[in-house]
Structure 1
Amino acid sequence: MATFLYKLGKLAFRRRHFVALIWVALLTLAGVGAASAPTAASSSFSIPGTEAQKAFDLLDQRFPGSSADGATARVVFQAPAGEKITSAANKAEVSKTVAELGSGSKQVAAAADPYAARTVSKDGTIAYASVSYKVSSMELTDTDRDALQKTVDGARHSGLTVEVGGDALQAMPETGATEIIGVAIAAVVLVITFGSLVAAGLPLLTALIGVGIGVSSITALANALDLGTTTSTLAMMIGLAVGIDYALFIVSRFRAELAEGRDREEAAGRAVGTAGSAVVFAGLTVVIALVGLAVVNIPMLTKMGVAAAGTVAIAVLIALTLIPALLGYAGKRVHGRKARKALAAEAKPGTKPETNTKPEPKANMGTRWASFVLRRPVAVLLTGVIGLGVMAVPVSSLELGLPDDGVQPTDTTQRKAYDLLSEGFGPGFNGPLVAVVDVKHSQDPKDAVARVAKDIAATDGVRTVTPAAFNQAGDTATITVVPSYKPSSTRTEDVVHAIRDKGADIKADTGAEVLVTGTTAMNIDVSQKLNDALVPYLALVVGLAFLLLMVVFRSVLVPLKAALGFLLSVVAALGAVVAVYQWGWLGSLFGVEQTGPIMSMMPIFMVGVVFGLAMDYEVFLVTRMREAYVHGERPAQAVVTGFKHGARVVTAAAVIMIAVFAGFIGSSEQMVKMIGFGLAIAVFFDAFVVRMTIVPAVLALLGKRAWWLPKWLDRILPNVDVEGEGLRDATRGGDDAAADDEGDRELVRV
């Protein structure tokens, strides 16, 4: 592979005008497609194989037109203290407001009067009007939302408390200035790392081009493929981070090759042949982890993973082709002015010959840290493992759920409407259950439905049950069930399971099938489905990546150590997410205004994304160690050499990725905010605790055994030449593998 990539890098360098033109054309094409694409509707949400989804499908079939995808608004009215919402004056004001809601926008389909619909609380202080729209919330214009808000503001002048729930006021998620700050921090880190504006600008430029192509393509296909807004945000988040990192490694290796006296074309070829090999395999691990989300069988999650994987693939292709092309334009300006002068003073004609005997490397921060770890491997290993273990403790109290208006900041109208409805109609009113009764094979449909309603009403935790509503054919009925507890409560989950258990007995007695659905039931089924899929997903992703890393490192123990280190970092990161977003620790620092359950998708999503990103640093750092080892260095010396060449770059890459992910913490969407924090803290743990601390400690303890591979397995595995052995000009020297670990420790002491 190294030889092929070497030739590809040289070709891109020589044909830089053509390569640059191709990528500019792709960016333009994707941009035109995104600009001309129709506005995407809000993404549909389905979970095949669950009872809640089966009930929704049955409703679509038996109640045609009942499950419209239009936006809704629930306008809640509360009378002033000491008054009733049913008084003549208040009733007139509410009726007037409802009439204005119905005529305020052309997109309004209906506005239900609370007095006619009997949506008034028992104490007569709170009422609500349901407003339905002809289009989804994403298709509503600012004019439509302004009309709704203006009508509500006018009603407040009468003395009534008026708040709005539902999704009609839901706008496109915003990331705010923090995303820009994240990119700015990345730029500063690049300038500090390279000491050259040109070298710092290349990774940023190519990452933006890759993200532009990826996100524009997603936008262009969003309507046709039913992609939600979160899909493009996730693709931008991951694509930007890996795009900068992959380009960073190629540019760093190019600078190193130039410093060794090679001409620019040869340096570009060797940079792509060596660092590019690591980029390919690092990108493959990320793609495997993201595409592997399909095993969960939740279409929305699958689309998010595939779209983000596509953006990562684009970042890899750009690093292998566009980066060497742009290096052709930049030339030696990738070094700062002082470095260029120093190199010119030391320059000699021709290419410096390579030898197996290298001078003792000049100590830098990376070599000093590696030497420290190698001198005290047991203490460092225990410190790192125990520290991550402590951070993982909050995972024991992890509560999963999907966000609703109950987790909105307390000063928002959606949260105020949620609280008013809970006060007037009970906490379970914000998450009613829908029992769908299929009586097509029942001898007495009405009697069967009456039995269902009676049994549900007698279930512990059920507050109210509405009369059954039959469809025109009379073979299906719906019953709305209001639990006594809030939607995210575990007791509500017990109510759902209790109703479903009774449904089995009812079917045996009457032939009627009872299916429980609704948003709350759907959330419960999602959580269960994700929990059931976690182990198979881990087995698939970790197994494939283990095989891939075995091919890269020609070792059994190094991939095993990489996988175990990943598990440590991801569990510690989940613990931090629980501490901040569920417990509220340091919540104000990260913009958490309201704590609540962790999103059901968070654990499995973090496992997928963090695993892919964690393997990036494993590949980049350990590949340099493997390269030094196969070129004749002893195991401990190879670790020091790997840190000498890779520690600074990996540190810069990790800081950049953390900055990019942390930039999304300022998003207005809870899911994006939580993902941004989770990924940022996970990269911090994995890069600085696992890869920079635990990895060298484990390698020090293993010594030569770290690179052991059974001979029969060595013959089976393909040789991809990640170390670039085929690119060496000189014949490699003798085999130093016989050196013992005592010699390694002696080297570290020196």
Structure 2
Amino acid sequence: MKRPSVTVSVARWSAARPGRALISWVVFVALCLGVGSMVGTNSATSEDYRVGEAGRAEELASEAGLQRPATEYVTISGGPQARAAADELTGLLREQPVVAGVAAPIRSANGVLMVEVSMRGPELEARKHLDQLTAQTERVQRNYPGLVLEQTGSASISKGVDEQRSSDLALSEAITFPVTLITLLVVFGSVLMAGVPLLLAITSIMSAIGLSMVVSHLIPDAGVGNNVIILIGMAVGVDYALFYLKREREERARGHLDPAVVVGLAAETAGRTVVVSGLAVIVSTATLYLATDIVFASLATGTITVVLVAVVSSITALPALLVLIGRRTAKRPAKPEKVRSGRLWDAISRPAAEYPVRTLCFSVLAMLLLALPLLGMEMRVLNRDSHSRDIPALQVYDRLTAEFPQLRTRHDVVVAAAPQDAAEVRAALADLGRRVQGDPLFGEVTAPRTGPGGRVTAVQVSVPFNPSSEQAARSLTHLRADYLPTVAGHVPGAEVVVTGDVARDVDYLAHQNDKLPVVVIALLLLTFAVTVLVFRSVVIGLVGVALNLLSAAGAMGLLVVFFQHGLATTLFGFDPSATSAIGSRVPLFLFVILFGLSMDYQMFVVSRIREAVLRGVPERDAVHLGVHQSAKVVTSAAVVMTTVFASFVFLHLAEMKQIGFSLAVAVLLDAFVIRVLILPSALTLLGRAAWWPWKPQQEPATVRTPLPTG
């Protein structure tokens, strides 16, 4: 007899000893959460986000102690006592150990006073000490009840975004879990059976969150890990359980009543498919590390962790649960399932069987039309301009910048030169300040500051436009191309670089575009290689890559229509700030994740077709038999995935809205167009050539030995 694979062996062990297996799984989940809670999350720091020229400027400024400090602003308005309140606040703030300096209050054209506070330490660390500043602002507010004191700044906004992200996670859980349970109840008609996939998905998510805390000490977390763990964990956790449950029911319908035997037989087919699908998702997602970006690395780590845990649960805890449930229902064998999937699926799949050429051409053309808007995609980094204005600190920020437009955007010019050239560098930067004064793209320029040792000097150039505006982008281009070469010309050998609100976004997008071809090529090659290894067919590998490309392109084309062209605002009332452009990270993340998730359906459907071919079924019949046999589970999995992903459309963060929408659309297109119309049409037309160079031969029947149940 052929020696069983590790997957089958583990599943059989769990089926033979369900009690031990479940206890082991519970201990594993508790251990992951316990260890994760003990070590905590290692969050990414400012240094982890540095890329390009902006990153180099921040590095030089940081080494010289000239980096931009975390700055908080307090506005005071409402009466003649504003000046007295500002003086009292200034005195209180200067006494705080976390405060590096407080500037003299300044008044806007409308009479609003503003107190600027510089905090000690890196910008991302300042939020930890924000309460000390807020307490003083509230104290002065109590002393002057007739005035209005409002506080905002980088730390306040960052804290507000974090709090909103936490509330979004709670909202997604409140939507996702009940909707998933209702969907599973419709599929199984049993609370007990519906609870199995949901329970495994939830415990997999819990384990992954704990493990991700541990992994964050190797790869820092950028704050998006838990979002993606819930997003992907619910989808694949339920998906894999459905694949397994489908096979378990089929084996019971064939007359196998011993639960351990049934589960062991299911492990030979569905178990292998789940493991291969999970590994395909992991391999695909790992290409995100090639982007050399902390956010993509955090997204990849979260996805890989939860998929790996979901695979482990499907071959350990799931077989054990099914055995225990099977023992309760052993006297009520499942009703034989018909090969046919119902009138609806007959109608949907008939075109591919009867008119493969026309079906293939029409379906591919429809997908290409959906993908057409992708050619006009506009990407930008979604900064504070695109954040939800439900965050109080951002509401105050908008009022602040309306009164003091010079605070909207700032360029930090950093010059590194020999210490003996420090005086000449300061003179060149002072001349830069004079030259930009007449340019409407620029505002005030600070006096040059030189760090210890005289090697690094910096100035700030304000821009009276929002960071995402066209004028702000032009100001950076103008500064780098026209003004800074003059500074460099005054000091031969000097390194002149720019960072700031706009430069970070521009350089980040350029860095990402440079890495995009590397990630895409690696993804295509790895996806092709995995498919060829699994099915031993070069043609199936090429077809899989082509269909995954088609699915991803169609979904992202609709993303452009709904978010970039504003249809989502018209139909759903979304904030226009979330629909004016596509988040720079969204397309690459979607492209990679969609390839991975598409492999789920690809593996499941093609595996069923391959099994039929091995049983001697003619290729054309095997294609449609495999599609019919997988129709119900693919549909159920697609509905669950869609509801999970769609729930993220209701979150505040623009990127999560766009990701949730695209994934939901892509799953529907993949399940109802790619796998039902295009894939069977293509394989029908290819016939035996689809399996080249593998030559399918009918495999001899294997003897299935019952497992011990003790």
Q: Same fold (TM over 0.5)?
A: yes
The 3 A distance-change label for structure 1 pair 571 and 43 is farther
Equivalent of residue 451 in structure 1, options 428, 431, 435: 428
* 1:187 maps to which of 172, 181, 184: 181
Aligned 1:465-614 pairs, distance under 5 A: 465-501=445-481, 503=484, 506-507=487-488, 510=491, 511-587=493-569, 589=572, 591-592=574-575, 594-595=577-578, 596-614=580-598
Please state whether the residue corresponding to 1:517 is helix, strand or coil: strand
> Secondary structure of 1:464's partner?
coil
Displacement of 1:46 = 2.9
Equivalent residues in 2 for 1:45-194, closer than 5 Å: 46-47=48-49, 50-63=52-65, 66=67, 72-77=71-76, 79=77, 89-98=81-90, 108-109=98-99, 112-115=102-105, 119-121=106-108, 125=112, 127-130=114-117, 132=119, 140=128, 147=135, 150=138, 158=146, 160=148, 162=150, 164-168=152-156, 169-170=159-160, 171-172=162-163, 173=165, 174-175=167-168, 176-194=170-188
1:277 and 1:190 map into 2 onto residues whose CA distance is 23
* Superimposed CA distance per residue, residues 642-676 of structure 1 (whole angstroms, 9 cap, x where no aligned partner): 12211110111111112122223333444333332
Contact 1:99 1:111 in 2 (8 A): no
Cα distance in 1 for residues equivalent to 2:367 and 2:535: 26
Conserved 8 A contact 2:141-2:148: no
Q: Distance in 2 between matches of 1:52 and 1:126?
A: 32
SS of residue in 1 equivalent to 2:567: coil
Q: Secondary structure at the match of 2:146?
A: coil
For 1:18, the equivalent position in structure 2 comes to 20
Pick the aligned partner of 1:34 from 33, 36, 46: 36
Structure 2 counterpart of 1:690: 674
Of 445-454 and 499-508, deviating more is 499-508
Q: Which secondary structure state, in structure 1, belongs to the residue aligned with residue 116 of structure 2?
A: strand
For 1:534 and 1:361, the matched residues in 2 are separated by: 44
Specify the code of the residue in structure 1 equivalent to 2:554. Answer: A
Give 1:548 deviation, angstroms.
Answer: 0.9
Match of 2:707 in 1: none
SS at match of 1:586: helix
Output the amino acid matched with 1:679: L
Which residue is equivalent to 2:442? 462
Structure 1 distance, partners of 2:693, 2:217, is 51
- Corresponding residue SS for 2:617: coil
Contact 1:39-1:139 within 8 A present in 2 as well: no
Measured after TM superposition, the shift of residue 283 of structure 1 is 0.9
2:627 equivalent to 1:627: no
Residue 546 of structure 1 deviates from its aligned partner by 0.4
Residue equivalent to 2:4:
3
Could you tell me whether the CA contact under 8 Å between 1:410 and 1:594 is conserved in 2? no
Q: Following the alignment from structure 1 to structure 2, what is the Cα–Cα distance between the partners of residues 374 and 145?
A: 70
SS in 2 for 1:465: coil
Q: Alignment length, in residue pairs?
A: 687
- Per-residue CA deviation, residues 119-159 of structure 1 (Å, 9 max, x unaligned), is 54467556353363779569649966974784697599535
Judge conservation of contact 2:90–2:115 (CA < 8 Å) in 1: no
RMSD: 3.5
Structure 1 residues 570, 342: CA separation in 2 closer, same or farther (over 3 Å shift)? closer
Residue 226 of structure 1: CA displacement? 3.0
Aligned to 2:708: none
Q: Residue by residue, what CA displacement relative to the aligned partner does 1:679-713 show, whole Å, maximum 9, x if unpaired?
A: 22222222222223322232233333322x137xx
2:369 paired with 1:370: no
- Structure 2 residue 317 is the aligned partner of structure 1 residue 317: no
After superposition, residues 267-346 of structure 1 pair within 5 angstroms as: 267-331=262-326, 340=333, 342=335
Q: What is the letter of the counterpart of residue 240 of structure 1?
A: M
TM-score scaled by length of structure 2: 0.87
Match status 1:710 vs 2:697: no
Q: What is the deviation of 1:540? A: 0.3
Q: CA deviation at 1:446?
A: 2.2
CA distance in 2, matches of 1:49, 1:159: 43
Structure 2's unaligned 5+ residue stretches are 705-710
Q: What amino acid does structure 1 have at the position aligned with 2:178? A: A
Q: TM-score, normalised by structure 1?
A: 0.82
Change (3 A) 1:589 1:2: farther
Contact 1:152–1:163 (CA under 8 A) maintained in structure 2:
no
Structure 2 CA distance, aligned partners of 1:217 and 1:324?
23
Which of the numbers 646, 653, 660 marks the counterpart of 2:630? 646
Counterpart pick for 2:360 among 359, 364, 381: 381
- 1:435–1:479 CA contact under 8 A, matched in 2: yes
Is 1:398 aligned with 2:377? yes
Identity in percent: 26
